[in-house]
Amino acid sequence: MQSMRSGCIHRWHWWGAAAMVVCAVGLPAPALCDDFDVARANAKVAAEVLSRCNRFIHGWLQHADARTGLIPQNLRGQATSPVWTAENSAADLWPFMVLSAYYTDEALLEGKMRDILHAEIRRTTRLGHLPDAFDFGKQAFLRDEVNEGRLIFGASEYCKDGLLPIVELMGRGEWFARLRDIATDICGQASVHTDFGPILATSAEVNGEMLQVLARLYPATGDTRFLATALRIADAYFLEMLPNSNWLPCHDWDFDKHAVKSDRLRLRDHGSEIVGGLSEAYALARRYAPARADRYEPAFRSMLDTLLERARNEDGLWVDEITPSTLETPRRSVPDTWGYVFNAFYTAYLLTGEQRYRDAVVKGLESIHNYPDWGGADAFADSIESGIVLLNREPVASAFKWVDEAIVAMSAKQQEDGIIEGWHGDGNVARTWLMYAMMKTGGLRAAPWREDLAYGAERDGDNLRIYLTAKEPWTGKLFFDYPRHREHFGVSPNYPRLNEYAEWFSVEDSVLYRISVPGAEPSDRLGAELRRGLAVSLQAGQEWTATVAKIGGPPYGPHTK
């Protein structure tokens, strides 16, 4: 019988849903009889999805270009030869091969995954650091002409959907340098005239994507070009477009004529980016240009309030599309990226304290279980990702159960060779598996990874219960998560954002944590030590458990172990 320990976070639904998933994927159900029952069940489902991530990498590597190592954007629908593109191969597919390797194959990460980055820089850069599509058959650019608008679009997609998540999870390094360099050159291409200075595009998609990138790069670098560009875009939207379009951003706006070009706002992928982008721009301004934020706030609130009033269904979830000029909703299906818009509302709640913005997010989470079927694997992936990011902030029991059930449906779509559907959306499936594994492991990462290794965790307040086992002898380390939002990008507060990897149990470098392993003396470790890895050795079939408890302080003194 399961226990209901007071203060236990997510306990009942983590266990109940985890056991359901274990049975669904054909793994043995755990004998739930001790304090580590939840961690044990979570270990089995985390092991399953990490194995799927590893198979995904190797399935797609079979289709890499033999000469460059680059990954094609699709395996289906090729009119001539395979093609690498910034907006698909680099934005949606290869980055999640990188992150899957980070969790399951460090040698592959340091080898082929970095080699692909180097090949991409050498073979595809065309306008400064901006890449262009590369044809494997010609071993040359797909198109003879240089189209700046197309290059900016592809580069913005690569930055926001490809490089941001790598840096969000793995930190700075070559990936960060590539992100910074491309974003710098995108800013340098700003040529759309507005009353507030040049911005990047008339398209809400490109501007929204780059607002998300710039709002994270400026705190990380202090480069004023990033702040200046972000504020010019924010000025153009908050101070011109929104007041003249019923407080909703149009898909396309003529900044010379101060008039709409495309009278639609899609609240799904390739449309909703501007809502999240404007929320991140407001957060950036609130922190670094508060007088500007004061000017933005009325329009920001009006945008959110209009969406709440006119763009939701009876369950409190978004409709697919709204027409700004009339506020009609011609497409009322719920978009799979439903959480991306809610991210903006929760950000607004954190920054303004407006409770109804939080309430809207909670209502959406409480209703999402009414939507079990999302069709394709990529749609499942975006929908599950939406839930995981928000559940990290608002733990709604029914939504956790929905995530577990949706993961089973999505996972069933993977083929024997590791390919899921054979197009660049496969990367988003791997992204979501990784996010799910992090939820089930408390953000732990074990190395070296093996397919017979299973590890999971359960958070209980400031404590973490860990379970680890392997069929064969294993010696390695458990690496603990840390406040990546602060260290990698300098984000503050830790608002929900697209392409983040939620932090479930983070250790602080200078804080002590007590490690209690049954049958051994407790030991105290600094968070900095846990980040570098807790050494563990297992015999074949051994079940290893530990409780990690935060120790109050400092000061600590001689009573620590």
Is the backbone of residue 422 left (phi > 0), alpha (psi -120 to 50) or beta?
Answer: left
Task: Report d(CA 251, CA 263) in Å as an integer.
Answer: 7
Q: Which residues pair with 523 in a beta bridge?
A: 515
The radius of gyration of the chain from alpha carbons, rounded to an integer in Å, stands at 23
Structure tokens at 365: 């989470």
What would the pLDDT profile of 240-278 be if each residue is shown by its tens digit?
999 999 999 999 999 999 999 999 999 999 999 999 999
8 Å CB contact between 268 and 223: no
What would the pLDDT profile of 162-212 be if each residue is shown by its tens digit?
999 999 999 999 999 999 999 999 999 999 999 999 999 999 999 999 999
Task: Report d(CA 288, CA 305) in Å as an integer.
Answer: 25
User: At 13, is the pLDDT very low, low, confident or very high (cuts 50, 70, 90)?
Assistant: very low
Give the HSE-up count for residue 371: Cα atoms under 13 Å, Cβ half-sphere. 25
The CB density around residue 513, as the number of other CB atoms within 10 Å, is 23
pLDDT at 104 over 90: yes
- Residue 37 class from Cβ within 10 Å (0-12 exposed, 13-18 middle, 19+ buried)? buried
| Distant-in-sequence, close-in-space partners of 523: CB < 8 Å, separation ≥ 6 | 514, 515, 561
pLDDT of residue 552: 82
Give the C-alpha distances (Å, rounded to integers) separating 172 from 92, 485, 495. Answer: 20, 12, 20
User: At 24, is the pLDDT very low, low, confident or very high (cuts 50, 70, 90)?
Assistant: very low
8 Å CB contact between 71 and 89: yes
Task: Report d(CA 557, CA 561) in Å as an integer.
Answer: 10
User: At 294, is the pLDDT very low, low, confident or very high (cuts 50, 70, 90)?
Assistant: very high
8 Å CB contact between 502 and 537: no
Structure tokens at 41: 């069940």
pLDDT of residue 75: 94
8 Å CB contact between 214 and 180: no
Please name which of 74, 56, 59 lies closest in space to residue 136, comparing C-alpha atoms. 74
What would the pLDDT profile of 205-234 be if each residue is shown by its tens digit?
999 999 999 999 999 999 999 999 999 999
| Distant-in-sequence, close-in-space partners of 1: CB < 8 Å, separation ≥ 6 | none
User: At 559, is the pLDDT very low, low, confident or very high (cuts 50, 70, 90)?
Assistant: low
pLDDT of residue 78: 65
User: At 79, is the pLDDT very low, low, confident or very high (cuts 50, 70, 90)?
Assistant: low
